[in-house]
Structure 1
């Protein structure tokens, strides 16, 4: 392998530390609630950083800096949309969902919550929502494995096949062993590593290019439109990029963090920590891509790999500007971003299979130990399917991430948001919302109507379906009573 020893050693130490955390979490995992939600014991710092790290996958250090490097600040609208969406999700959903899941059968998963919240005796709501999770998240997992493989392939000169297994193995190991606590604790370490990399790198690039004034002049000389946030954009284009923020309301791996918080009181401080982390990370990401324009304009002799693949801008800057040991730490941040998201997605899929299929339909009286081991087995099953999907390097799996994000955002987002703020919502309204949201995304994506990102019509139509179908019936007295009790609990403790 064509690799410098310091980088390899740094990667090995980092991966070993993540697996060690998994074994530490194993000792605190005694039942299914521990494995799926960490026994609802996360404090505000872990809740905040885990929610952030599970959200920001490899695109934070590869995709977004690459887009900024190629097109300038006009690509930063997506970052603005994500910040707004994440803040509103923390504000309106986080605390209420934490309380509502506890009052509705101490639900451990989203399908479990929907089934209890709307007294769905048929199991239809549980099955449909669990199927949506499994389909979209298996694609999501495959995309994470591809991103990890690309990192190992380019950093260590491995073959794609070897890199595929090397990138996936560590994540599978600590998720399998330690479950939710391992995922959350490692997410906290990974979030710290990511923010360190994204604050340090743009500062060093700025110094290497001669300071702020020199850097900005070089960027302007390359193309004055790099500073123009409206370059090559349309109203629909900006709305589509901002629309990514709507996805937060329906992402199961992020919502699971809210459900696992130790109390509603933790949510407010977790929100402040998480939003500060997110804003700093996204600002650093934009800065890496933007300042990279100046650096590679001044050093065209080393710009070859970035011109060939602009998503390598962070990787190349880390290799060129830092001591190999520090570069190894910075490159580990990319692995951290990939691993933190992939581990959450594996666990949510495992949770859906274990809690919503195995326990509900096959083994209602299964022991807690049996359920934990079934959960671990399901992590392996989903991971192997995802690896099989990612095995062909020509697969355009990464392009499906925006599709999966839209699918979750439109199918679950309106249902989750409205279910925690409106007691008049009914079971049929929830079912209509999931189906209309998912179908709209699929149809809109297929026909590429108006050039508008499919999450926006999906979210709007699903919300309207929930309202009008709910108005055709009425919630039961039990549903209203539990909602009021949860809302009272939330207002007393927030």
Structure 2
């Protein structure tokens, strides 16, 4: 497609606004805590929307609508699993993790929290968990850069190489300058843009296809099985799709939002806002793909791009049904979804390198200003590695997203969840949980056992390892004392 002026202008205005927010956040960033966790100052609305936006990457507006368009409602099980998993994460982990990190050395990162919570003097927990974060998130970042490049490539007719840098540059800019506050504030804007796009688009598609009854009749005429939630599914297939929800307990970029909340009192309100946003967004996503079946069966002459690549269904509907200026805003929502996740992942990698390697092992006496600038340098370093991984458009990086989600979910999920609800957990139990979870995911994925998504056995085996290994020893008096103080704090303030 040749450059469309309204769409291009809309993209430029949107990107400029994100960078401006980064510059505003720069003025509020005085130390490493500000850069990594925003000085634990996020209110409930920003906590809620940034947690949601950081989770929902380009698959929300490209991958899932494409799957629904191709296969019908049977692909929506993943959305159901994600809603359940996110709700349980908010309910059991969010508030408790906020107080536990504060009571355990005011931890700024997950490796920092594990190290303090379990009094790990050897540094082994910190090193292993930081390495897990760096490996999986660098791959994750690369997948986000590929998705952004695909959007610029298809919207503006750029070469893949140019689109790669164009898509990554804006995200790197505001993350580099403003750190966590910039990422969280821009996430809030991006979450608003995403929900606007996902509520408006299916309504306009419905009107264009003649209303609810006509649309449903058209879908039924095309393929009656599109309505069947169990079409081409098995019990293991449904469990695997819903198993995605388990991943929430171990995603460092989402857990960082809980740690950064201004208080436990903000969490309950944030949970209600975030879950409402998430349900509306996922509902809109399913509706876009589903109603798209009716629209393109009624207009086969414009269905070529979607037939070639179903993941373009949202892009094509936006371009066909809306004024170019409005289409530009809607297509910016895809960029928002990509940028919001990518920026969080860059920052988590930067914080792991700065807090868990540089400060801990290289420069214990480093000043706050030095640490902030090291954090910024690490954002650039991780971004450049991710761009190098994404440089080949034929690579399989995007396919590794589910692998990375499973890796985090199994390696960190049980450790985080059990550490905030059971005072009997020990350092060796945590170490066993991380190792068993990660190894199970790698082995299960390699052998593709039972056709079951690797996060499920990984999560179960890691949880069992934590319990049995912890039972072989006992936590120190200090660990129990801090746990009980944090739990008391949580119950008093929730």
TM bin, normalised by shorter chain, reads over 0.9
Structure 2: runs of 5+ lacking an equivalent: none
SS in 2 for 1:474: coil
User: 2 CA distance for matches of 1:32 and 1:184?
Assistant: 16
CA shift, 1:28, in A, is 0.1
CA shift, 1:449, in A, is 0.0
The question of 1:451 aligning with 2:451 is answered yes
CA shift, 1:52, in A, is 0.1
Per-residue CA deviations over 1:88-125 (Å, capped at 9, x if unaligned) read 00000000000000000000000000000000000000
Per-residue CA deviations over 1:406-439 (Å, capped at 9, x if unaligned) read 0000000000000000000000000000000000
Per-residue CA deviations over 1:273-307 (Å, capped at 9, x if unaligned) read 00000000000000000000000000000000000
SS in 2 for 1:210: coil
CA shift, 1:36, in A, is 0.1
CA shift, 1:4, in A, is 1.3
Quote the residue 1:334 is aligned against. 334
CA shift, 1:229, in A, is 0.2
User: 2 CA distance for matches of 1:394 and 1:455?
Assistant: 26
Structure 1: runs of 5+ lacking an equivalent: none
Per-residue CA deviations over 1:171-220 (Å, capped at 9, x if unaligned) read 00000000000000000000000000000000000000000000000000
Per-residue CA deviations over 1:1-54 (Å, capped at 9, x if unaligned) read 712100000000000000000000000000000000000000000000000000
SS in 2 for 1:74: helix
User: 2 CA distance for matches of 1:127 and 1:68?
Assistant: 41
TM-score by length of 1: 1.00
Per-residue CA deviations over 1:58-79 (Å, capped at 9, x if unaligned) read 0000000000000000000000
Quote the residue 1:165 is aligned against. 165
Give the 5 Å matches for 1:313-462.
Answer: 313-462=313-462
Quote the residue 2:88 is aligned against. 88
CA shift, 1:396, in A, is 1.2
SS in 2 for 1:107: coil
User: 1 CA distance for matches of 2:396 and 2:134?
Assistant: 19
Per-residue CA deviations over 1:341-373 (Å, capped at 9, x if unaligned) read 000000000000000000000000000000000
User: 1 CA distance for matches of 2:203 and 2:3?
Assistant: 26
User: 2 CA distance for matches of 1:137 and 1:4?
Assistant: 34
TM-score by length of 2: 1.00
User: 1 CA distance for matches of 2:299 and 2:51?
Assistant: 38
Per-residue CA deviations over 1:137-188 (Å, capped at 9, x if unaligned) read 0000000000000000000000000000000000000000000000000000
Per-residue CA deviations over 1:462-486 (Å, capped at 9, x if unaligned) read 0000000000000000000000000
User: 2 CA distance for matches of 1:99 and 1:185?
Assistant: 23
Quote the residue 1:245 is aligned against. 245
SS in 2 for 1:158: coil
User: 1 CA distance for matches of 2:133 and 2:293?
Assistant: 39
User: 1 CA distance for matches of 2:254 and 2:489?
Assistant: 22
User: 2 CA distance for matches of 1:71 and 1:404?
Assistant: 25
Per-residue CA deviations over 1:221-242 (Å, capped at 9, x if unaligned) read 0100000000000000000000
CA shift, 1:314, in A, is 0.0
CA shift, 1:451, in A, is 0.0
RMSD of aligned C-alpha atoms? 0.4
Quote the residue 2:66 is aligned against. 66
How many residue pairs get aligned? The number is 494
User: 1 CA distance for matches of 2:437 and 2:222?
Assistant: 43
User: 2 CA distance for matches of 1:121 and 1:171?
Assistant: 37
User: 1 CA distance for matches of 2:292 and 2:129?
Assistant: 43
User: 2 CA distance for matches of 1:174 and 1:222?
Assistant: 46
